[in-house]
């Protein structure tokens, strides 16, 4: 993807009077502020494996994870399972963590007394051309 | 009310943030060059591993005992420290960053006339717990919280929160009854601002505990010691004398020195190391918007060498500067003069001295000083290095091989600051 600097620049005014359009000058769009609401609680990570392909998360995708928000039913979350950071879907009704791939069986939450949620995946980024 | 938030075993806890498998396990972090143990998780402390123990002494024992060892990873620690600080801003707009892992907050009074003192105490305790829980949820950093009417008492409250299991990491010392209980059990050398030298002199006056110090005559103490110790007495009795230092004061000197991975008798690698240290120090100099007027070069041999020899030299710069190229060139020449053939060196360092505010430079008619072009180049170099990682661009003099570089055999990934070291998530 090409990068565009999306700023409006006003014309120079010979007499030195400020252009009235200056009041409407836009700042260039910033993906950070658009995608990340809690920067101190948000981390980036890399997806490894194919268990979440049904949600459109493929091996090598960039995951943007917010630790500060409370995980809701149906959201894609990161959990520490057996001490390993793992991406799953939270099913609060059935009390389990599921994958988006039929070859993986759901994990019942009660079986893992030490299961800790390590954040909610708020966005995932596919690279169509490697950065 | 003052609130002191202190990260527990900070470096060790940082190593556990993206490694949930290591939480509640023994973890140690080594100093620069993997020499000493500088941080231990609670479990490592419980196993009897001492602060500053040398790696050489206990390396194999630790490996047998499944202690996880890390070299220090300051990129990670700096980032996580900033995250904790920014999360604390949810609780107060008035924050003092006291160190990389300690922050003071000023909390507006939680009291209201309808509430009994017990209710207020409880609400402060709940608030402390809320702070602790939020910090952990947002950053995975375990902290201890101390709340009290003065900074010195907040330090004591924090210490109590760590030591007394019943506190569960939150200590509130809001009444004289509570702080007297803690002071009776705190030796003077554990009080903030009381050095071991002062404690020894206080012992001569039969003052051993914080309570005995708090009850002593401030005028007498002032005569024996100084006004700071007198202020500590006031603070211990609940009268706030110290306020928050919210604006960080720029450093007056910037040093960068490190040990080499191996001894060297050759000049070129030492010069390369010096150039790198100059680059680091200049980055810091520019970050705090200062200029330096003089430069110090330090060279060390190992103290057990027969020709044990430390030397240093201070050089005046032609004009105040933050230019890596200029300072590096001067430093390399200076090392050449300090260097003695046949001597094995183990460590080198540079210091930038006589710092002044960049915005208020005095113009000298005969020495025009640093050019705007240089300013722009330095800004670009810093931007590139922040963006693409350290050493993306550097002065050629820093050397390309870096044989002398620090030993960092156990460094963890820089999870939050390098694109190719992000944490991996099992999918
Ligand atoms: Mg600490």
In this predicted model, what pLDDT tens digit does every residue of B207-240 receive, in sequence order? 999 999 999 998 888 888 888 899 999 999 999 9
Question: Which tokens belong to B5?
Answer: 């938030």
Contact A67 B82 (CB under 8 A): no
In this predicted model, what pLDDT tens digit does every residue of B64-89 receive, in sequence order? 999 999 998 988 998 999 999 999 99
3-state secondary structure of B374: helix
Residues 6+ apart with CB under 8 A from B220: none
Residues 6+ apart with CB under 8 A from A51: A87, A99, A100, A101, A103, A104, B426, B427
Q: Which of B137, B416, B426 sits opposite A85 (nearest CB)?
A: B426
Superfamily for the A38-125 domain:
Umud Fragment, subunit A (2.10.109.10)
The reply to whether B165 and B287 lie within a common domain is: no
The verdict on residue B198 lying in a domain is yes
The reply to whether B190 and B221 lie within a common domain is: yes
Q: Please report residues of B whose CB lies closer than 8 A to that of A83.
A: 19-23
Which residue among B191, B206, B236 closes a domain? B236
How many Å apart are CA A110 and CA B323, to the nearest integer? 60
B interface mutation test: which of A54, A63, A67 has the most B CBs within 10 A? A67
Q: How far is the CA of B352 from the centre of ligand 1 (A)?
A: 29
B interface mutation test: which of A46, A49, A51, A63 has the most B CBs within 10 A? A46
Q: How far is CA B286 from the centre of its chain?
A: 19
Helix B227-236 crosses helix B151-163 at what angle (to 10 degrees)?
A: 60
Q: How far is CA B296 from the centre of its chain?
A: 22
Question: Which tokens belong to B42?
Answer: 């609670």
B9's torsion region: left (phi>0), alpha (psi -120 to 50) or beta? left
Cβ–Cβ under 8 Å, residues B381 and B389: no
In this predicted model, what pLDDT tens digit does every residue of B277-326 receive, in sequence order? 998 899 888 888 889 988 989 888 876 665 566 778 888 888 889 988 89
Min mean pLDDT across A66-70, A98-102, B108-112 is at B108-112
CA angle at B139 for the pair B133 and B144, rounded to the nearest 5°:
45
The reply to whether B70 and B128 lie within a common domain is: no
- Residue B322 maps to which CATH number? 3.30.1490.100
The reply to whether B265 and B228 lie within a common domain is: no
The reply to whether B35 and B136 lie within a common domain is: no
Catalytic residue check, A94:
no
How many Å apart are CA A28 and CA B392, to the nearest integer? 26
Residues 6+ apart with CB under 8 A from B74: none
How many Å apart are CA B328 and CA B273, to the nearest integer? 10
Residues 6+ apart with CB under 8 A from A25: A7, A8, A9, A10
Q: Is B46 exposed, middle or buried (0-12, 13-18, 19+ CB in 10 A)?
A: exposed
Q: Note the pLDDT of residue B226.
A: 85
* Residue A13 pLDDT greater than 50, yes or no: no
Residue ranges per domain, chain A?
Answer: 38-125
The reply to whether B205 and B92 lie within a common domain is: yes
The reply to whether B227 and B339 lie within a common domain is: no
Which value, in Å, is the radius of gyration of the alpha carbons in chain A?
Answer: 21
The reply to whether B87 and B224 lie within a common domain is: yes
- Residue B155 maps to which CATH number? 3.30.70.270
CA distances from B102 to A56, B10, B84, B95, B170 (A): 41, 9, 10, 11, 15
Residues making up chain A, counted from first to last? 131
Of the candidates B11, B50, B55, the one whose C-alpha atom is nearest the C-alpha of residue B36 is B55
Catalytic residue among A12, A19, A51, A124: A51
Helix B151-163 crosses helix B176-184 at what angle (to 10 degrees)?
A: 60
The verdict on residue B267 lying in a domain is yes
Report the DSSP pairing between strands B68-70 and B27-30. parallel
Residues 6+ apart with CB under 8 A from A106: A91, A94, A96, A97, A98, A99
Looking at CA atoms only, how far is residue B387 from chain A in angstroms? 14
Mean pLDDT, chain B, integer: 87
Q: How far is the CA of B11 from the centre of ligand 1 (A)?
A: 9
CA dihedral B97, B102, B104, B107 (to 10 degrees): 120
The count of structural domains within chain B is 3
In this predicted model, what pLDDT tens digit does every residue of B4-34 receive, in sequence order? 999 999 999 999 999 999 999 999 999 877 8
Domain that holds residue B229: 76-236
Catalytic residue check, A48:
no
Across B53-162, where does the E strand assignment appear? 68-70, 95-99, 102-106, 143-148
CA dihedral B93, B98, B101, B106 (to 10 degrees): -30
Percent of chain B with pLDDT over 70: 88
Min mean pLDDT across A69-73, B285-289, B394-398, B416-420 is at B394-398
Q: Which helix (H) or strand (E) holds B424?
A: strand B424-426
Q: Note the pLDDT of residue B354.
A: 83
How many Å apart are CA B316 and CA B326, to the nearest integer? 12
The reply to whether B327 and B224 lie within a common domain is: no
The verdict on residue B289 lying in a domain is yes
Question: Which tokens belong to A125?
Answer: 């980024």
Of the candidates B157, B408, B365, the one whose C-alpha atom is nearest the C-alpha of residue B261 is B408
Using the Cβ of A122 and the Cβ atoms of chain B, whether some distance falls under 8 Å is answered with: no
Cβ–Cβ under 8 Å, residues B353 and B295: yes
The reply to whether B362 and B337 lie within a common domain is: yes
Q: What mean pLDDT do residues A49-60 have?
A: 96
Q: Is the dihedral of CA B196, B197, B203, B207 positive or negative?
A: negative
The reply to whether B32 and B177 lie within a common domain is: no
Looking at CA atoms only, how far is residue A3 from chain B in angstroms? 16
Q: Note the pLDDT of residue A20.
A: 53
Residues 6+ apart with CB under 8 A from B72: B11, B29, B30, B31, B32, B38, B408, B411
Looking at CA atoms only, how far is residue B320 from chain A in angstroms? 36
The verdict on residue B420 lying in a domain is no
Q: How far is the CA of A117 from the centre of ligand 1 (A)?
A: 25
How many Å apart are CA B353 and CA B293, to the nearest integer? 7
The verdict on residue B419 lying in a domain is no
Looking at CA atoms only, how far is residue B161 from chain A in angstroms? 25
3-state secondary structure of B149: coil
Contact A48 B427 (CB under 8 A): yes
User: What is the value of ipTM here, to two decimals?
Assistant: 0.82
* Residue A89 pLDDT greater than 50, yes or no: yes
> Which residue does chain B place closest to A115, by CA atoms?
B20
Q: Which of A41, A46, A84 sits opposite B87 (nearest CB)?
A: A41
In this predicted model, what pLDDT tens digit does every residue of A17-26 receive, in sequence order? 545 555 566 6
The reply to whether B230 and B89 lie within a common domain is: yes
Q: Note the pLDDT of residue A37.
A: 94
Of the candidates B67, B78, B242, the one whose C-alpha atom is nearest the C-alpha of residue B152 is B242
């Amino acid at each position: 993807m090409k990068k565009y600097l999306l700023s409006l620049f006003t014309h120079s005014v010979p007499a030195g009077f400020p252009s009235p359009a200056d009041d409407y000058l836009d700042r260039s769009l910033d993906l950070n502020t658009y995608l990340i609401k809690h920067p101190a609680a948000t981390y980036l990570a890399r997806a490894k494996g194919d268990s979440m392909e049904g949600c459109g998360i493929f091996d090598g995708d960039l995951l943007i994870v917010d630790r500060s928000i409370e995980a809701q039913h149906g959201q894609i979350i990161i959990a520490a399972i057996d001490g390993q950071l793992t991406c799953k879907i939270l099913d609060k009704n059935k009390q389990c963590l599921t994958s988006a791939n039929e070859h993986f069986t759901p994990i019942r939450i009660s079986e893992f007394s030490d299961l800790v949620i390590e954040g909610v995946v708020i966005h995932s980024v596919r690279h169509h051309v490697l950065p | 009310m003052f609130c002191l938030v202190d990260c527990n075993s900070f470096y060790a806890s940082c190593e556990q943030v993206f490694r949930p498998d290591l939480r509640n396990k023994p973890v140690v972090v080594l100093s620069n060059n993997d020499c000493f143990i500088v941080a231990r998780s609670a479990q490592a402390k419980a196993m009897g591993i001492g602060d500053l123990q040398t790696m050489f002494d206990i390396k194999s024992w630790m490996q047998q005992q499944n202690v996880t060892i890390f070299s220090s990873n300051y990129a990670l620690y700096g980032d996580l420290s900033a995250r904790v600080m920014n999360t604390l801003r949810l609780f107060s707009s008035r924050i003092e960053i006291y160190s990389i892992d300690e922050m003071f907050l000023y909390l507006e009074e939680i009291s209201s006339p309808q509430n009994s003192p017990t209710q207020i105490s409880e609400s402060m305790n709940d608030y402390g717990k809320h702070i602790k829980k939020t910090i952990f949820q947002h950053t995975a950093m375990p902290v201890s919280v101390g709340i009290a009417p003065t900074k010195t008492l907040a330090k004591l409250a924090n210490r109590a929160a760590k030591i007394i299991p019943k506190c569960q990491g939150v200590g509130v010392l809001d009444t004289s009854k509570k702080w007297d209980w803690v002071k009776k059990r705190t030796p003077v050398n554990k009080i903030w601002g009381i050095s071991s030298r002062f404690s020894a002199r206080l012992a001569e006056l039969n003052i051993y505990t914080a309570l005995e110090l708090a009850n002593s005559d401030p005028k007498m103490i002032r005569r024996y010691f100084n006004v700071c110790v007198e202020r500590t007495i006031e603070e211990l009795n609940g009268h706030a004398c110290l306020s928050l230092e919210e604006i960080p004061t720029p450093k007056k000197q910037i040093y960068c020195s490190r040990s080499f991975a191996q001894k060297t008798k050759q000049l070129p690698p030492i010069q390369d190391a010096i150039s790198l240290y100059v680059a680091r120090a200049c980055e810091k100099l520019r970050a705090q918007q200062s200029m330096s007027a003089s430069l110090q070069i330090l060279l060390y041999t190992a103290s057990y060498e027969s020709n044990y020899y430390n030397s240093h030299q201070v050089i005046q710069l032609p004009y105040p500067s933050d230019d890596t190229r200029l300072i590096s060139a001067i430093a390399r020449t200076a090392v050449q003069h300090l260097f003695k053939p046949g001597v094995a060196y183990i460590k080198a360092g540079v210091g930038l001295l006589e710092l002044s505010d960049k915005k208020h430079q005095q113009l000298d008619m005969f020495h025009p000083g640093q050019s705007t072009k240089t300013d722009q180049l330095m800004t670009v170099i810093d931007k590139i290095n922040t963006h693409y990682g350290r050493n993306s661009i550097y002065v050629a003099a820093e050397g390309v091989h870096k044989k002398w570089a620090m030993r960092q055999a156990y460094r963890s990934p820089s999870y939050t600051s390098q694109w190719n070291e992000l944490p991996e998530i099992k999918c």
